[in-house]
Amino acid sequence: MADDAGAIAKDARERAYSTPLKDFQVAEVSHFTSDTHWPWFERLRREDPVHYCAESEYGAYWSVTKFQDIVAVDSNHEVFSSDSSRGGIMIADAFEPSEDSSFIALDPPDHDAQRRVVTPTFSTAGMAAMEPLIRDRAAAILDELPVGETFDFVDKVSIELTSQMLATLFDYPFDQRRNLPKLSDMALSGPPPADMTPEQMMERHAGSCRWSCRSWASGTLARTGRRPTT
């Protein structure tokens, strides 16, 4: 396996350094699923740290790959907006009204006002308060793992613990916690297959996602008299 990994890494490096910069597409999903994105970004940082990709499955986009440049972009919302009405924060985002967005796809002052609501939960004190629960759940999950047989660590440990804690944080029904990674996968799955019609895309992803999210939000509103914060 080590030899295979080494061959894959070597091939990726050769392709990264032989591909003309004008043809670079660092957003190609296979770079990340194969863990071979490293030489592509390495070359961009050395030769073209602010790179323009004119054509891709996502459309045209810029890649900013040096730390100080990233800080400059991220701290200047007046020039580099995150607002969904201007295209949002993800490479495949479409333009949509700000009213339908979470706070991460908003600019100040709207972003700041909504972020203040969730910040206390993720402060040092907030995380310390949750530490006993996280430890108890992690221990329970590990204790329940099968012994003497092969199992999927990602599914039984990584996804399970993450789903449990997200359900608690979001006040999401605990018995439906495995919906949360599914919804995330739907939202982040990238462009649809070329032969998938818009109607099929809606039926496969958006419909189930919206139904689940709206059901949860309606239930939270009914129980607490307030809408959940997104």
pTM of the model: 0.61
Tens of each residue's pLDDT in the chain, 230 residues: 556 888 999 999 999 999 999 999 998 889 998 999 999 999 999 999 999 999 888 888 899 999 999 999 989 988 998 888 887 777 776 777 777 677 778 888 888 888 888 888 889 999 999 999 999 999 999 999 999 999 999 999 999 999 999 999 888 899 999 998 888 777 666 555 556 665 555 555 554 455 455 555 555 545 555 555 44
How many CB atoms are closer than 10 A to CB 46?
11
Q: 50 in helix, strand or coil?
A: strand
Q: Helices 207-224 and 179-187: crossing angle, nearest 10°? A: 130
Contacts of 146 (CB under 8 A, 6+ apart): none
- Residues 188 and 126: their CA atoms lie apart, in Å, by 28
CB-CB contact of 126 with 120 (8 Å): yes
